[in-house]
């Protein structure tokens, strides 16, 4: 880990002459805690899969069944995050901008996916969308199957990811300054133009973050998905389930290998998005 010494030097070199104290302590504690709680365990993971080497990891990733699982997981997570992005924006907008009966209650419900154990969420969703469920039965009459297909995975992941988009976008919508909208309208822009050119751009970084977090969370989700996915190889089998399958065969390197691959992809995606965020903050931020 980085020594406090290094932290102190950074503080001196990069901090504009500032009177704010506590950098060494807070930064050091951040790194220590991050190291102990997150990096050390993840290092154990990578250590166990390191025996495979890069070529071993490549072999695992290209194993047809694993490749299918990874594709399913990343593709459906991406779709779910897109749906969350679209509807999450609408929900955040409606909850902050309008007042209507039941608004606060709805607002409280948004966090439900965090609180409900994922297994309960999976069971409830499966009960709803199964061919004999409240939603599944009418849908089945039209020949639409949700539970035990890839659509089931999508439904579960939409549920899991929604709060991330809503909760990152909401504060920014609240901070949007009406003066800008007024100026835009005064200058003759239609409401559509105002929304697209004035309101959406400052929301973009928050939307991106929300999308990234929803996407990241969906990739790893297991508990709620297995109850509704069907778990058929090559069709509705998610990558985390493959980790479980490998573990079941006492194939620890294989399991940690898949986990490492997923970790690497998620890390790259999150880092890219956070860099875009930082860039946007430097360029458009007002602090």
Partner 1 sequence: MGISWGSLALAGALAIGSALSGGYASAGQALLNVSYDPTRELYKQINPAFVADWLAKTGETVEIQASHGGSGAQARAVIDGLNADVVTLALAADIDAIATKSGKIAADWQQRLPNNSSPYTSTIVFLVRKGNPKAIKDWDDLAKPGVAVITPNPKTSGGARWNYLAAWGYGLKKFGGDEAKVKDFVKAIYKNAPVMDTGARGSTITFAQRGLGDVLITWENEAFLALKEFGADKFEIVAPKQSILAEPPVSVVDANAETKGSRKLAEAYLDFLYSPAAQAIIAKNFYRPVHPEHAAKEDLKKFPKLEFVTIDKTFGGWAAAQKKHFADGGIFDEIQKQEPAR
Partner 2 sequence: MSESIAAGVPAARRRARVRPVTQDSPFARYALIATAIAFLSLFLLAPLAVVFYEAGTKGAAAFFEAFQDPDARAAIRLTLLIAAIAVPANLAFGLAAAWSIAKFSFPGKSLLITLIDLPFSVSPVVAGLVYVLLFGSQGLLGGWLTAHGVQIIFAVPGIVLATIFVTFPFVARELIPLMQEQGSVEEEAALTLGASGFKTFLTVTLPNIKWGLLYGVLLCNARAMGEFGAVSVVSGHIRGLTNTIPLQVEILYNEYNNVAAFALSVLLASLALVTLGIKTFLEWRHADALAARGRRH
Tokens of residue 215, six digits: 């996407």
Site for partner 1 in 3-32 (CB under 8 A): 21-22, 25-26, 29
DSSP class of 187: T
Number of residues that bind partner 2 (CB under 8 A): 117
Is residue 134 part of the contact set for partner 1 (CB under 8 A)?
A: no
Is residue 70 part of the contact set for partner 2 (CB under 8 A)?
A: no
Minimum Å gap between C-beta 144 and partner 2 is 14
Tokens of residue 138, six digits: 């009418």
Is residue 127 part of the contact set for partner 1 (CB under 8 A)?
A: yes
Count of other CB atoms within 10 angstroms of residue 50: 16
Minimum Å gap between C-beta 232 and partner 2 is 19
Tokens of residue 172, six digits: 């920014």
Minimum Å gap between C-beta 49 and partner 1 is 16
Tokens of residue 9, six digits: 């030097």
Site for partner 1 in 198-237 (CB under 8 A): 226-227, 230-235
Is residue 54 part of the contact set for partner 2 (CB under 8 A)?
A: no
In the list partner 1, partner 2, none, the entry touching 128 (Cβ below 5 to 8 angstroms by class) is partner 2
Dist. CA 143–CA 255, nearest whole Å:
37
Sequential DSSP letters for 111-141: THHHHS-HHHHHHHHHHHHSTTSTTHHHHHH
Dist. CA 265–CA 26, nearest whole Å:
29
Count of other CB atoms within 10 angstroms of residue 268: 10
- Which residues contribute to the site for partner 1 (CB under 8 A)? 21-22, 25-26, 29, 33, 36-37, 63-65, 68, 126-127, 130-133, 147-148, 150, 226-227, 230-235, 241, 244-245, 247-251, 254
């Amino acid at each position: 880990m980085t020594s406090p010494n290094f932290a102190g030097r950074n503080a001196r070199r990069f901090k504009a002459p500032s009177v704010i104290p506590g950098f060494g302590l807070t930064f050091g504690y951040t790194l220590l805690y991050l190291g102990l709680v997150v990096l050390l365990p993840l290092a154990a993971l990578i250590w166990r899969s390191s025996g495979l080497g890069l070529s071993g990891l490549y072999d695992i990733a290209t194993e047809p069944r694993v490749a299918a699982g990874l594709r399913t997981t990343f593709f459906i997570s991406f779709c779910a995050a897109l749906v969350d992005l679209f509807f999450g924006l609408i929900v955040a907008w409606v909850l902050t901008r309008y007042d209507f009966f039941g608004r606060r209650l709805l607002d409280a419900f948004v966090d439900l996916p965090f609180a409900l154990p994922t297994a309960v969420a999976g069971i409830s969703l499966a009960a709803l969308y199964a061919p004999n469920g409240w939603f599944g039965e009418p849908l089945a009459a039209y020949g639409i199957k949700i539970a035990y297909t890839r659509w089931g995975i999508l439904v579960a992941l939409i549920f899991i990811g929604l709060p991330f988009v809503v909760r990152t976008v909401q504060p920014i919508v609240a901070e949007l300054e009406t003066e800008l909208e007024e100026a835009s309208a005064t200058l003759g822009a239609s409401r559509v133009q105002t929304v697209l050119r004035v309101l959406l751009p400052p929301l973009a970084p928050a939307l991106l973050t929300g999308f990234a977090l929803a996407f990241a969370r969906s990739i790893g989700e297991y508990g709620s998905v297995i109850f509704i996915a069907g778990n058929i190889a090559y069709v509705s089998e998610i990558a985390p389930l493959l980790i479980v399958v490998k573990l079941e065969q006492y194939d620890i390197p294989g399991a940690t290998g898949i986990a490492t691959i997923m970790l690497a992809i998620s890390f790259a995606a999150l880092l890219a998005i956070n860099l875009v965020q930082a860039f946007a903050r430097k360029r458009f931020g007002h602090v």
